[in-house]
Amino acid sequence: MAVSPLVWKLQRFFNIGNERRMKQAIRLVDAVANQVITNKRNHLLLLLQEEEAEEDLLSRFMRVVGNDDVFLRDIIISFLLAGRDTVAAALTSFFWLVAKHRHVQSEILAEASRVLGPDDDSVSYEQVEKLQYLQAAVYESMRLYPPIQFDSKFAQSDDVLPDGTPVRKGDRVTYHPYAMGRSEGIWGRDCLDFKPERWLRSGSGSFCPPVNPFEYPVFQAGLRVCLGKEMALVEMKTVAVSLLRRFHFNPTTSSDDHHHPRFSPGLTATFSGGLPVLVRQRN
C-alpha cells in the first residue's frame, strides 16, 4: 500500500519501519506453527506406542511429508487463513444481511422448527444437511460479500484464456468474486438484491448449486476448489441456526454503514471495526 515499491524495498533492506514489524510478526506466527507441529508430533509418537492412529488433516500431512517442517508450517498457516478468518468474515456478512432482511430470518427460523423441532437446541450433521433455505441464504450472502474479495493465480506455463487473451509463464491473473457477484450479466437485473430464493428450485424448494462454479468462485473451482468447502458450509450453517434460534441481532451501525459496510484492508473481507450489534435473547 506504499506510494512506491521503493519504500518497502528500502525498509526491508535497512530492516526498519513496517518491514521490521512484519519480520517480527512472521517470527511469532512461525513460532506458534512450530509449536503446533511439535505438540502434534509428540502426540503421534505416543499414539504409535499405543498402536493407535490419528486421522485429523495435519496428521495425514505429517505421514506424507515426514519431517518437512517448512511445508507443515505453511499448511498450518493456510488452515488459519483459509479456515478461520474466512468463516468469521462470511458469518459477519451473513448476520448483517439477515438482520436487514427480517423475512429471510423468519424463513430460516421456520425451516429450523420443521427440521429440528421447535424446542430442540442440538443440531446433528444430518439435520444441517436438510436446512435447504439456510444453505441458500448462506450462498446468497457470500455472493454479495465473499470472504475473499479477489484472488490471483500465477501461470506455470504459457496459456490462452477462453476469450483469446494470451497469458505468459509467470503472469499473474486476478479474478474478483466481489465484482462477479454483482455482475448483471451473470445474476440478472436483481444482482444487487439479497434473494436466497434464487438458489432454490421452484416447486420443491430444494437447494440448487450453481450450474457453472466458475461464475461463483467463492470456493474457487476446478482443480483448485477449496478443500474445506463442505466443512466451512456445515460450520457456518450450524453456528447461524444455533444463534438465530436463541437471539435477536440488531446492528448498531451508522446510517451510512447500514447500507454499505466498510472493510479493513487485508486478505479476507473483514468489517472495519467489526459489526456492533444489540443482542436480545428470544423467548
- The H or E element that residue 152 is part of is strand 151-154
Which has the closest alpha carbon to 141: 184, 87, 65, 71?
87
**Residue 226 is labelled as binding a ligand:** yes
Cα–Cα distance measured from residue 21 to residue 18, given in angstroms and rounded to the nearest whole number: 5
Cite the DSSP H helix spans in the chain: 5-14, 17-49, 57-65, 69-79, 86-100, 102-116, 125-129, 132-144, 177-180, 184-187, 229-246, 255-259
Contact present, 225 and 73 (Cβ < 8 Å): no
Helix 57-65 to helix 17-49 angle (10° resolution) is 90
Contact present, 161 and 214 (Cβ < 8 Å): no
For the annotated binding site, the residues are 226
For the annotated binding site for heme, the residues are 226
